[in-house]
Amino acid sequence: MTLREGALVLADGSVFEGELIGADLGDSARIATGEVVFNTALSGYQEIITDPSYAGQIITFTYPHIGNYGVNAHDAESRGAFCRGVIVRDLARRASNHRSEGHLDALLREFGIPGIAGIDTRRLTRLIRDTGAMPGAFGDASEADLRAAAEAEPGTDGIDLVATVTTDAPYTVAVDGAPDRLIVAYDFGIKTTIVRHLAELGRVEVLPARTPAQAILDLGVDGVVLSNGPGDPEPLVEIVDNVRALVDRQVPLFGICLGHQLLGRALGAGTVKLPFGHHGGNHPVKNLLTDGIEITSQNHNFAVDADSFGSLGRQVQMTHVNLNDGVCEGLQVVGERCFSVQHHPEAGPGPHDARYLFTQFDQIMTGKASV
C-alpha cells in the first residue's frame, strides 16, 4: 500500500496533515470535498462506510485504529458507498479476522472512495463538536486550493441527496418461512440489515423513493416502511406528499431515521439541523412509554422538532427522547397505526436494544397492537 502526503482543510481554515489512502483522486481534481462529521462507533467501519445515509459527507472515525479486522461481502449495507471520503487516525496495515475477505483500503479503492490517514482525529472531533459540522476538502493539492474547495462545498442543507442513492428499479426480497404478507419499503437509502429484518416479517418489495402512494395502495400492502437515508428532508416535498397520502389511508407505517423525519413533516411538524448530528453506536435513548433506557445506533444530522407537535391537527405523541441533548427520537400518531424512530433499530453496526420495534411493526400489521 503506497501512501502519499496530503492534507485536510476545513472551511474555517483549520489544517490537518496526513497521508492519502483509498481511491486515487486523479491528476486533475486531486481534491475530495464534503461535509465533515464524526462517528463514535468502536467497530463496524465497513457498515458505516457503506451506509447510504452518509451521501455528501466525509466520515471521521473517532476510534483511532481502523481496518484491523478487514472487510467482507456480508457486512456491506448497500450496493456500494456514497460518502465523499473517510478520515482515520491509523489505518491498519494488516487485517486479522476469520471473516475477513480483504483489506479496507482495497474496498475504498473498489468503491471509488478516497481517504486520509494519520489525522489527529481527537483535535478534529473537538473542533466539529464545538463549532458544528462544516465543509472540508482533502487531497494533495495546495493548502490554498483545498481551502477554496472547502469554502465552495455547499454541504447538505437544502439538497436532495435521496435521488443519488435510491434504487433505479423495484426489487423483491423474500426468505423461506416468512409470513404470507407484503411489506413495501421505500428506498431513501435503505440499509441491507433493515431489509433482512423486514424479510422475516413478510415478502419485501423495495421501491424507488418517488413511487406514488397510489401505486403502493394498488399493491394491497400490509405495511410500509419509510427507510433511512441521507441529508435534509425539507426539499423532499413530493415524497412527503406520498407519505401523507398513506397516513390518510390508515396504512401501517414504520419510519426509520430519515423516514422518521419525513413522517414528521407529512404530519405537519418541522425539522431542524443539529449542530453536528448524531453518528455512532452508543447514544442513550429513553422510551417515554416504558421509562426504559436503550443504547442505540444513530446516523443523522437533521431531527424532528417536537415543539411543533402541539399545533398539529392529529394527536402526535413523542415516544423516545435522546438523553444527551433532548432531541426527539420517536413519535406515534394515536389511532392511525403509524410510528417512527430517529435511531436505527436494525443496528448495523451497534447494540440491539431497539430491535423490538420490528416486532411492534409486526403486531400493528397483524392487528395485535395499535398506537
Integer-rounded Cα radius of gyration of the chain: 20
Contact 203, 181 (CB under 8 A): yes
Q: How far out from the chain centre does Cα 185 lie? A: 15
Contact 77, 228 (CB under 8 A): no
Question: Alpha-carbon distance 371 to 344, whole Å?
Answer: 20
User: Any catalytic annotation for residue 344?
Assistant: yes
Q: Which of 257, 278, 328, 336 is catalytic?
A: 257
- Residue 313's alpha-carbon distances to 265, 269, 274, 341, in angstroms, are 13, 10, 26, 20
Question: Alpha-carbon distance 144 to 20, whole Å?
Answer: 18
Query: Across 88-133, where does the E strand assignment appear?
Result: 90-91, 114-117
Q: Which of 197, 278, 283, 344 is catalytic?
A: 344
Contact 342, 298 (CB under 8 A): yes
Determine how many CB atoms are found less than 10 A away from the CB of residue 261.
31
SS (H, E, C) 273-304: EEEEEEEEEEEEEEECCCCCEEEEEEEEEEEE
Question: Alpha-carbon distance 112 to 5, whole Å?
Answer: 19
Question: Alpha-carbon distance 52 to 154, whole Å?
Answer: 19
Tell me the pairing of strands 328-333 and 338-341.
Answer: antiparallel
Q: Which of 19, 234, 294, 346 is catalytic?
A: 346
User: Any catalytic annotation for residue 257?
Assistant: yes
Sheet holding 316-322, edge to edge: 171-173, 203-208, 182-187, 223-226, 253-256, 338-341, 328-333, 316-322, 270-287, 293-305
For the annotated catalytic residues, the residue numbers are 257, 344, 346
